[in-house]
Amino acid sequence: MFEQFQYLNDQLYIEDVSINKISDEVGTPCYIYSYKSLKDRFEGYVDAFRELEPLICYSAKASSNIAILKAFSNLGAGFDIVSIGELKRVLKAGGDPQKVVFSGVGKTDIEIEEAINSNILFFNVESEEELHKINEIAIRLDKKAPIAIRVNPDISPDTHPYISTGFKESKFGIELSKAIEVYKDAAKMQGINICAIDAHIGSQIFDLSSFSDSIAKLVDLANKLIIQGLKIEYIDIGGGLGIKYEDKDNPPPKSEYAKIFEKHLKDKPFKLVLEPGRSLMGNSGIMTTKVLYRKEGSEKKFVIVDAAMNDLIRPSFYNSFHKIIPVNRTTAKDEVVDIVGPICESGDFLAKKRLFPKVEPGEILAVFSAGAYGFAMASNYNTRPRAAEVLVKDDKFYVIKSRETFEDLVRGEQIPDFL
């Protein structure tokens, strides 16, 4: 689960670097990622899917620092993006645009134009109006835009409703029953090149039957489209393989995940596209935070730390669990506490009613499973600078994003003359 994070001489290490050393030099809060972990996890997908040789597109929204993107690009990854900003990050990191798929329901004209001009692999089209807009822009540019239709297979996996995306009420995709007609319309469009089918049923999924149902529906649709005379080169199954946040989570091995797709795609003329994000980065990173104060009320005990919901919003937003441990191993007696941050919101917490060893002000804590949707979802709420980011490789660490300053926070703001 956390292979690259181990105690050594009662101090927590990431690979061969003491987290205390990083905290002393970089400060807290801080996001720290293990290069070996993200590399091993990516190569785990490559090995598990060796029979199908899919295009593995790292989902940039999980953690989009250009150093992280460069690491995955060097490993041979493509990229799943959802904004022009992510496309520009991928290109700045040296990513191959011909390995980029562009997802998301609200692509703007500027985003579509820049993606076409960058020669991405294909758009995952989310609506009929978007399809017409892409066609219009491609014609104006005298180009053909490669597209997949994102279909909604009406599958509701057992996951948090905010990250379940394949059911009928979801804002994502086009209903499967309408897909053939939409593809037929797309085939008549001058600026459109049909090349793929896409579906994404959600994130943090452990039940492989959901993936099996989804890929079966996509292959069936692809076969029907071929009969209609359309060419389908890729089937994009999205991401979604869950990770272990706490002991009760039991994600399946990647090898079993791969067998689902081998069963449906072996000897078929379709190339598989995967879009993992969380399963590559989630347990490859932690967030560090320093204890500021202890507070004991009549009903609760609080540990107040310097990280807050603006740094890691998942506990507040999803009520999600993150393992938290002291960086210095302790034999202190456990107590039930809420671990909370400085933000002026009652929803600002990292853990509630957590059995936790008694810690004192100044101690450093490590918040696990923070490599995905951690820094990427951070904000400047309460005019708080975003944390630093650090990448560790072997016995060295590298600051890949400096901690923001006040000047960073007010850059671009102006006071009108009348004030």
What pLDDT, on a 0 to 100 scale, did the predictor assign at position 201?
82
Q: Report the distance separating Cα 401 and Cα 272, nearest Å.
A: 34
List the CATH number of the domain containing 248.
Answer: 3.20.20.10
Q: Which of 30, 57, 195, 344 is catalytic?
A: 344
- Single out the residue in 231, 260, 279 at which a domain terminates: 279
DSSP structure class, residue 264: H
344 is catalytic: yes
Q: In this structure, what token pair is assigned to residue 253?
A: 């091995």
pLDDT band at 163 (very low <50, low <70, confident <90, very high): very low
Least confident of 187-196, 233-242, 273-282: 233-242
| Mean confidence (pLDDT) of the chain | 93
More confident residue, 160 or 204: 204
Q: Residue 280: its pLDDT value, please?
A: 97
89-98, 125-134, 160-169, 370-379: least confidently modelled range:
160-169
Token output for 251: 């994600």
The answer to whether residues 232 and 317 belong to one domain is no
DSSP state string for 35-64:
HHHHHHHHHHHHHHTTTT--EEEEEGGG--
pTM listed for this prediction = 0.94
- Evaluate whether residue 415 is within a structural domain: no
Mean pLDDT of 291-314: 95
Same domain, 253 and 330: no
Least confident of 160-169, 181-190, 374-383: 160-169
> Among the three residues 224, 257, 279, which one is the final residue of a domain in this structure?
279
Domain membership flag for residue 416: no
pLDDT confidence band for 205 (50 / 70 / 90): confident
Q: Do residue 251 and residue 316 come from a single domain?
A: no
Does 124 share its domain with 89? yes
Give CB contacts under 8 A, 24+ apart, made by 95-103: 95/69, 97/121, 99/55, 99/57, 100/57, 101/57, 101/148, 101/198, 101/236, 101/273, 101/275, 103/150, 103/198, 103/200, 103/275
Q: Do 352 and 328 belong together in one domain? A: yes
| pLDDT score of 384 | 97
Number of domains in the chain: 2
How far apart, in whole angstroms, are the C-alpha atoms of residue 347 and residue 340? 9
Domain identity same for 59 and 152 = yes
Average pLDDT, stretch 154-165?
48
CATH number of the domain at 379, please: 2.40.37.10
Q: Do residue 23 and residue 126 come from a single domain?
A: no
Report yes or no on 417 lying in a domain: no
Note the pLDDT of residue 1. 56
Sorted by sequence, the CB contacts under 8 Å of residue 396 that are 6+ apart come out as 17
pLDDT value for 361: 98
pLDDT on residue 169: 53
> Which domain range does residue 347 map to?
5-32+282-410
**pLDDT tens digits along 237-249:** 988 788 989 888 8
418 occurs within a structural domain:
no
Residue 129 has pLDDT above 80, yes or no: yes
Average pLDDT over residues 189-209: 89
3-class secondary structure, 323: coil
Domain boundary residue among 279, 308, 334? 279
Split at pLDDT 50, 70, 90, the class of 167 is: very low
136 shares a domain with 225: yes
Residue 177 shares a structural domain with residue 136:
yes
Q: Are 285 and 32 in contact (CB under 8 A)?
A: yes
